[in-house]
Amino acid sequence: MHPELAFAIEVLIAGLLSGVMYSLVALGFVLIFKASGIFNFAQGAMVLFAALTFVRILEMGVNFWLAIAVALAVMIVLAVVIERVMLRPLIAQPVIILFMATIGLNYFLEGFAQAVWDADVHGLDLGIPDVPWMSLLDSTNILISLFDIWSAVICGVLVLVLAFFFQKGRIGRALRAVADDNQAAMSVGIPLHQIWAIVWAAAGLVALVAGALWGQRLGVQFSISLVALKALPVLILGGFNSIAGAILGGLIIGATEKLAEVYLGPIIGGGIESWSAYFIAMLFLIFRPQGLFGEKIIERV
């Protein structure tokens, strides 16, 4: 294959694969927004907290699967505590107050995670080698890391499981009812508090997986919580309340961001990845203010 074309495809695929990782973080936001209308700014801190918990338990010499189970249990406890302590007293407050509360939670969790564990950089090895896919490299000259492929597969499976969980069964129905209208759901006897705890726990699970995957790449450290900022453009592109939007948005953002970085970056000064994704999302929003799959905003006076 022509080397330049191969390079372009390589960039595109790498972008799509990192886009899957963005979707994963964005999914955490979407789950909570759907169920409670809260824009959870603390998602990044949850990623940090989950990854730190996981890696420190691993470092104590605990078995890999057991460590995952323990970290997951910690995230579930966290979800229950958040619901009890923070969300319950703030019920029926305007959304901006709840949003601010999650910013407070963000600070608290960042401090808490690093006070309980520590602020050093921890290497994390999930047992997936971060090496190029040799047979693809030989046949088509395209360099793609096996780790990227694996993480995309893991994310894909997780998304499918969550989508299934949220569409089918008793809990799925209850979740959709709560997403539709909190008060109506409560009045027909759906336990709102329980549902919120479940949703935050699911967001915790997503944070754990995202934290582990990003953690192997970047090392588990404070900067991992900034991954959440990467997911925000995905969120506005896909719509705050659409799981499909989070996935497709992640792919679009990932691909265009990488392409822009490689082909546009050198022309205008480089290092544009901090805002190019936002720019793409904004351009898109001008034409579709509610995002790709967001519900049409109907305003009544």
Partner 1 sequence: MLYRETGQFKTTYQRDMAIFPIRQDRWVLIAAVVFAVVGIPFIASQHVIAGYLIPFLIWVIAAIGLNILTGYTGQLSLGHGAFMAVGAYSAYNFASRIPELPIVLVFILAGLVAAIFGVLVGSPSLRIKGFYLAVATLAAQFFVEWVFATFPWFVGGAASMVIDTPKMDIFGYPITSTLDNYYLVLGFVVVMTLLGKNLVRSAIGRSWMAIRDMDVAAEVIGIRPLYAKLSAFAVSSFFGGVAGALYAFCYVKSVDFTAFDLFVSLKVLFMIIIGGMGSILGCFLGAAFIVMLPIILNELAHGIFSGQIPSALISNLEHMIFGGLIIFFLIVEPHGLARLWTTAKEKFRLWPFPH
Query: In the window 22-51, what residues touch partner 1 (CB under 8 A)?
Result: 39
Q: Go through the chain and tell me how many residues it has.
A: 301
Measure the CA–CA gap between 14 and 72, rounded to whole angstroms.
Answer: 29
Binding part of the chain for partner 1, among 64-72, 143-151, 154-162, 227-235 by CB under 8 A, reads 227-235
21 Cβ contact partners less than 8 Å away, ≥ 6 residues apart:
151, 152, 155, 210, 213, 214, 227, 250, 254
CB of 165 or CB of 222, closer to partner 1: 222
Cβ-count burial 107-141 (b if 16+ within 10 Å, e if not) = eebbebbbeebeeeebebebebeeebeeebeeeee
Q: Does 259 bind partner 1 (CB under 8 A)?
A: no
Question: Which residues are paired to 122 by β-bridges?
Answer: 220
Closer CB to partner 1, 180 or 273, in the complex: 273
Interface with partner 1 (CB under 8 A), residue from 7, 114, 218, 264: 114
Binding mask 77-96 for partner 1 (x = CB under 8 A): --------xx--xx--xxxx
CA distances from 257 to 22, 133, 234, 243, 281 (A): 11, 23, 11, 21, 11
Mark residues 230-249: x for contact with partner 1 by CB under 8 A, - for none: --xx-xx---x---------
Q: Which residues bind partner 1 (CB under 8 A)?
A: 39, 85-86, 89-90, 93-97, 99-101, 103-112, 114-115, 118-119, 229, 232-233, 235-236, 240, 269-272, 274-275, 278-279, 281-282, 285-286, 289-291, 297, 299, 301
